[in-house]
């Protein structure tokens, strides 16, 4: 059996809990160390997850026993931290988005190509059982030709945003709920319908005290010819849904997640239904028993390192997802659609 990959997690916020739990459930990773600037938070996390609390990010990068880093830091920290880790000889898994803006992407790509290390990005939802089955039903012809999809992701957290939270600020969280939540749908929709080609966005500031817009609606055109829309909100009750319509059938997915930190429960908290052409109602689709989406994405990272292959969501996939967010923001500001090709001009994916 291959030795587990020794990793360190950097950035101890709420999402570091499901990531640390996912790593500890796996026999392919060894969560050896953690770091955040707050010494009390660092010590508490180290106790909970059985790892060493390191005094600095530089100490982690200098530790030759640590093969990879898991970055769950604020978006604006991603680019410099990815580059520093790659240069230090570490493989990198970073929670989405790959960077805060498309302008930061070329520098990250340059260092990634120069070092040759693995760079994986945390787009976990495509690993969920419901989306895996949706993909299978498209590929085996059950859906027929995919035509259009609609997706929503909402959470009321924005009602309580204050200036001590980085998600409060437009510069640190451009796109607001689309960047933090809807980007998951963006990745999953490109997984199901193909790369995006054009984006049209509407963003509104309606109920949050923060700078960010809290309601977004975006239309995407895909290279397959299909169209999709993603609606997000940071100030309404939590919901997660996706419907996909084809020539032969429609699929309806919903997740009811009382506690998003317990991401290992995602599959059991998901329902998927199908309505075939000519049928009057929806029929439940049984979901397979499989590894939860967090453990699965982390194990894909570890396997890509051990097997010398590309991860499922590497730089290319994550850059398209980021372009779907930034394109929506720019479209909303300009009042016109944005071509993905124009947004990615000068970026060698």
Give the pLDDT confidence of 161-211 residue by residue, as tens digits: 999 999 999 999 999 999 999 999 999 999 999 999 999 999 999 999 999
Model confidence pLDDT, tens digit, residues 68-116: 999 999 999 999 999 999 999 999 999 999 999 999 999 999 999 999 9
Report which of 242, 158, 148 is spatially closest to residue 206, judged by C-alpha positions: 158
Give me the phi and psi of 165, to 5 degrees please: -110, 130
Model confidence pLDDT, tens digit, residues 200-233: 999 999 999 999 999 999 999 999 999 999 999 9
Give 80's DSSP letter: H
For the cut 90, the answer to whether the pLDDT of residue 259 exceeds it is: no
For residue 214, the SS3 value is coil
Same domain, 159 and 228: yes
Give me the phi and psi of 279, to 5 degrees please: -95, 150
Number of domains in the chain: 2
Phi/psi-derived region of residue 225, left when phi > 0, alpha when psi is between -120 and 50, beta in every other case: left
Same domain, 119 and 132: no
Let me know if residue 18 belongs to a domain.
yes
Same domain, 170 and 257: yes
Same domain, 26 and 155: no
Give 210's DSSP letter: S
Same domain, 143 and 285: yes
Q: CA 336, CA 199: separation in Å to the nearest integer?
A: 9
Same domain, 262 and 330: yes
Let me know if residue 242 belongs to a domain.
yes
- Record the pTM: 0.97
For residue 180, the SS3 value is helix
> Which residues span the domain enclosing 141?
125-290+325-334
Same domain, 142 and 257: yes
Same domain, 74 and 104: yes
Let me know if residue 320 belongs to a domain.
no
């Amino acid at each position: 059996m291959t030795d587990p990959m020794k990793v360190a997690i950097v950035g101890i916020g709420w999402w570091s809990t499901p990531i640390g739990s996912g790593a500890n459930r796996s026999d392919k990773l060894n969560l050896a160390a953690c770091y955040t600037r707050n010494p009390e938070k660092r010590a508490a996390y180290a106790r909970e997850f059985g790892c060493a609390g390191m005094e600095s990010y530089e100490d982690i990068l200098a530790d030759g026993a640590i093969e990879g880093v898991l970055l769950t830091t604020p978006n604006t920290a991603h680019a410099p931290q990815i580059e520093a880790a790659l240069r230090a000889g570490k493989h990198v898994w970073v929670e989405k988005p790959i960077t805060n803006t498309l302008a930061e992407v070329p520098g990250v790509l340059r260092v990634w190509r120069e070092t040759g290390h693995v760079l994986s990005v945390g787009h976990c939802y495509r690993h969920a059982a419901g989306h895996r089955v949706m993909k299978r039903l498209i590929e085996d012809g059950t859906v027929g030709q995919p035509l259009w999809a609609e997706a929503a992701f909402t959470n009321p957290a924005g009602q309580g945003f204050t200036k001590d939270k980085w998600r409060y600020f437009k510069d640190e969280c451009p796109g607001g709920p689309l960047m933090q939540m809807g980007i998951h749908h963006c990745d999953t929709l490109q997984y199901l319908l193909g790369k995006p080609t054009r984006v049209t966005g509407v963003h509104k500031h309606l109920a949050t005290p923060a700078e960010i817009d809290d309601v977004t609606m975006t239309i995407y055109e895909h290279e397959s010819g299909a169209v999709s829309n993603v609606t997000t909100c940071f100030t309404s009750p939590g919901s997660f849904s996706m419907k996909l319509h084809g020539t032969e059938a429609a699929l309806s997915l919903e997740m009811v997640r009382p506690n998003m930190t317990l991401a290992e429960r995602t599959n059991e908290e998901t329902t998927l239904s199908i309505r075939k052409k000519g049928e009057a109602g929806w029929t439940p689709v049984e979901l397979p028993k499989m590894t939860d989406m967090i453990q699965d994405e982390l194990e894909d990272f570890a396997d890509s390192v051990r097997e010398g292959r590309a991860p499922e969501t590497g730089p290319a996939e994550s850059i398209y997802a980021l372009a779907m967010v930034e394109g929506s923001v720019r479209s909303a500001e300009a009042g016109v659609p944005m071509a993905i090709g124009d947004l990615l001009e000068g970026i060698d994916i």
